[in-house]
Amino acid sequence: MAHIAFDLSKLEPFVHDNELGEMQAMVTAADAELRQGTGAGSDFRDWLTLPKDYDKEEFARIKAAAKKIQSDSAVLVVIGIGGSYLGAKMAVDFLNDTFFNYLPADKRNAPQVFFAGNSVSADYVHDLINLIGDRDFSVNVISKSGTTTEPSIAFRIFKDMLVKKYGEAGAKERIYATTDKARGALKTEANAAGYESFIIPDGVGGRYSVLSAVGLLPIAASGANIDELMQGAADAQDAYTNPDLTKNEAYQYAALRNILYRKGYTTELLENYEPRLQYLAEWWKQLTGESEGKDQKGIYPSSANFSTDLHSLGQYIQEGQRTLMETVVMIDKPRTDVDVPTAKDDLDGLGYLQGKNMGFVNQKAFEGVVLAHTDGGVPNMSVHIPDTTPYTLGYLIYFFEVAIGISGYLNGINPFNQPGVEAYKTNMFALLGKPGFEKLGKELNARL
């Protein structure tokens, strides 16, 4: 039995009993494309076996580097964008105290972890510099090429800060480069300067890279147990190999979201009832959107944080266009719980909740929303996770990764490339005056 549970019981009004079984032949074919490498994008499937087949020596170096960062730095600045940022941010939030970065140092036993290079906002960088102040800090720069605009600008800025504070020799001891194993601007600089470096595997695309050094170093530096994280993913790797839809819940999820998509439910909301899961949805949105949004097709990934967004988006979900499907990630056992106090009077009308805990209220909110939304014509699925341990997160990451790989093949696209991402970059380079883009720059400026 899988460590996490996929609940499709509320789909009965939207998916007939026969439909899932009738997807079996397509799922079996998609599984063969994925497992045997016969599908498009086969060079980027190494994430399939990454939870077991990873560099153990590098893994040990990651843990050692994390300990060093914890010992000599009050702040770790992680520089990266897209898959070089979202997975680590998601995991740090999922695994630590909700207010991790705000806790006093003696209650964290780890540096504050902040992210840069995920925008080109001057205000953001300025404010992060002010926040660091005179404190000791280290940098983990993550880039396959070393030339991606957003992280490259940030790295220049924070590297300059390190050199001014510690000198060239001291700065190199505080810079950790996660990059290509053999080539690229960042790899060249890391070799020349002597930065400790870690590898972004060739066969693992950015959105699938959280279980590589890309995610593992920041996660470990935050104090999380990455051995347990990888064990959870390894056990999920074993759990989700059988293409039989009666036995593989990750494949059930992939098949059902495609069944619903073909019925006109073209937007999927990933929802949660815990603020610590907000960046799980952000990571999932890249995983799904970049994998499936091709050739003018694909499910549009969005998200909502309940019960907060029930007071903003709830009206639309309940009564707007019937193009939405919902997938809820629900934590069955919250890390802590708080009782509703007893009051002498009952001015707020909460007497019926006195003595009950907030976890109970949250659970009933979830159940009430599912019933209301399904009654309103919105298909609901849910993924139940038992807790927020590293083991569970590793398991959950693999669940979504393998489901989206299968889902992409079910929709007849290459789930492992992202050709459309380059369009904005080309225009940005031209407008910024990058050498080689002068002609396009003139054309674009004339259009503005």
Express each pLDDT in 222-279 by its tens digit: 999 999 999 999 999 999 999 999 999 999 999 999 999 999 999 999 999 999 999 9
Q: Is residue 133 part of a domain?
A: yes
Mean pLDDT computed over 117-144: 97
**pLDDT for 380 beyond 80:** yes
Assess whether 287 and 347 both reside in one domain: yes
| 3 state SS of 212 | coil
Report percent pLDDT > 70 for the chain: 99
Same domain (yes/no): 13, 102: no
Residue 57 annotated among the catalytic residues of the structure: no
* pLDDT score of 192: 96
Average pLDDT of the chain is 95
DSSP state for residue 357 in the 8-state scheme: B
Query: Burial code of 408-417, b = ≥16 C-beta within 10 A, e = fewer?
Result: bbbbebbbbb
User: Can you tell me the mean pLDDT for 83-109?
Assistant: 94
Could you tell me if residue 348 is inside a domain? yes
Confidence (pLDDT) at 430: 75
Residue 441: the pLDDT is 76
Confidence of residue 435 (pLDDT cuts 50, 70, 90): confident
The verdict on residue 421 lying in a domain is no
Same-domain pairing of 389 and 260:
yes
User: Which phi and psi (to 5°) does residue 447 adopt?
Assistant: -85, -20
Determine the longest span between alpha carbons in the chain, in angstroms.
Answer: 75
| Same domain membership, residue 219 and residue 236 | no
Domain membership flag for residue 134: yes
pLDDT at residue 199 tops 70 = yes
Report, as an integer, the average pLDDT of 390-401.
Answer: 98
Among 192, 224, 256, the domain boundary falls at 224
**Structural domain ending residue among the three candidates 224, 240, 272:** 224
Q: Which two tokens stand for residue 63?
A: 């843990």
Same domain? For 237 and 218 the reply is: no
Residue 380 tokens, joined = 């609901």
Residues 35 and 51 occupy one common structural domain: no
Report how far apart, in Å, the C-alpha atoms of 155 and of each of 20, 162, 168, 425 are: 49, 10, 15, 19
Catalytic pick among 189, 196, 290, 326: 290
Residues 118, 216, single domain; the answer is yes
Question: What is the DSSP track for 73-85?
Answer: -SEEEEE--GGGT
Residues 394 and 261 in one domain: yes
Is pLDDT at 127 greater than 70 in this prediction? yes
pLDDT at 421: 66
Is a pLDDT exceeding 80 seen at residue 448? Answer: yes
Domain boundary, last residue among 207, 224, 241: 224
What is residue 400's predicted lDDT score, i.e. its pLDDT? 98
User: Is residue 434 among the annotated active site residues?
Assistant: no
Is there a single domain that holds both residue 175 and residue 125? yes
- 137 found inside a domain: yes
CB 137 within 8 A of CB 174: yes
Classify residue 44 as exposed, middle or buried by CB count within 10 Å of its CB (0-12, 13-18, 19+).
buried
- Average pLDDT on 370-388 reads 97
Question: What is the distance between the alpha carbons of residues 317 and 310, in angstroms, rounded to a whole number?
Answer: 9
pLDDT single digits (tens) 53-88: 999 999 999 999 999 999 999 999 999 999 999 999
Amino acid residing at 235: D
Q: Which of 67, 333, 425, 442 is catalytic?
A: 425
Residue 124 in domain = yes
Q: Which two tokens stand for residue 415?
A: 């789930």
140 assigned to some structural domain: yes
DSSP string, 381-419: EEEEES---HHHHHHHHHHHHHHHHHHHHHTTS-TT--G
Average pLDDT over residues 300-307: 97
Lowest mean pLDDT among 9-13, 145-149, 174-178, 314-318: 145-149
Closest listed residue to residue 336, CA positions, set 352, 366, 359, 306:
359
Q: Can you give the CATH number for the domain in which 280 is found?
A: 3.40.50.10490
Strand partners, 77: 114, 139
**Rounded to whole angstroms, how far apart are CA atoms 425 and 427?**
5
% of residues, the chain, pLDDT over 90: 88
Its domain, for residue 337, covers 5-39+230-411
Asked whether residue 153 falls in the same domain as residue 75, the answer is yes
Count: domains in the chain: 2
> pLDDT tens-digit profile of 357-377?
999 999 999 999 999 999 999
Mean pLDDT, residues 117-135 taken together = 97
User: What per-residue confidence (pLDDT) applies to 210?
Assistant: 98
Domain assignment present for residue 364? The answer is yes
Asked if 94 and 212 sit in the same domain, the reply is yes
If asked whether residues 242 and 374 sit together in one domain, one would say yes
